Amino acid sequence: MVPYTIDRVAELVESVSRPVDPDKLTIFSIVRNEMALCPAFFDYYRSIGAEQFLIIDDRSDDGTHAWLEAQPDCCVVSMWLPYGDEIEIQIEGAAPRMQRAGTFYKIALPHLWMDGGYVTYVDADEFLFLPPGVSSLQEIAARLKAEGAAAAVASVVEFFPASVGGLAGPLPQSFAGLLEAYPYFQAERLVELSPQGAELVGESKTARLFERYAVKPRVERRGWHRIYMPSRVRKAQSFQKAARHKTPMVLRSKHSGMIDTHNANQPPSQTILLTLAHFVYTSEFAAKIARAISWGAHANGAAKYRYYAELLEKMDGVENGFLDENSVRYEGPEQLVELGLMRW
């Protein structure tokens, strides 16, 4: 079978709810059963300049799809293959490789409609902080354009409550509410900018929690893997490190785009480091773990979520179990700049 290339991504599109306007500043995301987060996600990005949402709905069954289609600024895309299906892809300049379909969608789908504009790539639980003195995403895009930069890298900062007890109750319906409910983060640098991309210099909060609570990787053999497990699969069941960086704003052009879920194919700005607030530790945490394990659509059969489940069990009842000597309460974007998690 011929590998899928970016030029062939249209073959995988089943439907689009409304026409995509390539001239609008667009938020691109892939969701599945994210109804709890959608209101806060859409309200926040609209408030900072989003003019259009290009959303792949990966077969949601919790009302997400209908809610998305009811949003007048949202183009809902359905794909023929589920996120977790493996397909063979080939990105220009690289050898063919097997890849989850969802990763290919992130790389290729915006190329169908966007040409010469900056697209903001974020997940439903990621909220992009605006730098001090900046009021919109348009200002970030304009500065990138003025620099001639094709992309901006971001530190991915995990937010959390003081203890597992803080994961109880309903999920807040606004970005401000999320920060109030889950106000802590690690005061540690994660990324250094370089002409090649992002150099990772710190550890994620998740990695630190796994170490603190002695959550260790283990191999699970299921199906035909009980007889034979390739080394690639066995290695994949070790820890998949939580993201410490992403490239949330990328120029879509003939020569510029994403090459995987975190990196662009062009050097990022050397003067801009953005910050993504990642809300994984919320009241939806336990439900998300259960869904991910049930679906098996995430990387390596959702092995990471098995470890999350073990972590949650070990942390239960521990007072201030999320906090350590480097955990601080969020105060404002100036704090992120001072800590080296943002540059502007």
pLDDT of residue 238: 56
pLDDT of residue 161: 98
- Inter-residue contact 178 to 127 (CB < 8 Å): yes
* DSSP code, position 152: E
pLDDT of residue 296: 57
* DSSP code, position 267: P
- Inter-residue contact 238 to 306 (CB < 8 Å): no
User: How many angstroms separate the CA atoms of 48 and 43, rounded?
Assistant: 9
pLDDT of residue 239: 53
pLDDT of residue 299: 45
pLDDT of residue 216: 84
pLDDT of residue 219: 61
pLDDT of residue 223: 62
- Inter-residue contact 242 to 207 (CB < 8 Å): yes
* DSSP code, position 253: S
Torsion of CA 301, 304, 307, 312, to 10 degrees: -120
pLDDT of residue 287: 87
For residue 325, what are its two tokens? 């000597």
* Partners of residue 227 on adjacent β-strands: none
What tens-digit pLDDT sequence spans the chain (344 residues)? 799 999 999 999 999 999 999 999 999 999 999 999 999 999 999 999 999 999 999 999 999 999 999 999 999 999 999 998 999 999 888 899 998 899 999 999 999 999 889 999 999 999 999 999 999 999 999 999 999 999 999 999 999 999 999 999 999 999 999 999 999 999 999 999 988 778 999 999 999 999 999 998 766 555 665 566 565 555 555 555 688 999 999 999 988 999 988 999 999 999 999 999 999 999 999 888 888 777 654 445 557 788 899 999 999 999 999 999 999 999 999 999 999 999 99
Q: Tally Cβ neighbours within 10 Å of residue 17.
A: 17
pLDDT of residue 291: 81
- HSE value, Cβ hemisphere, 13 Å, CA-based, for 258: 26
SS3 state at 198:
strand
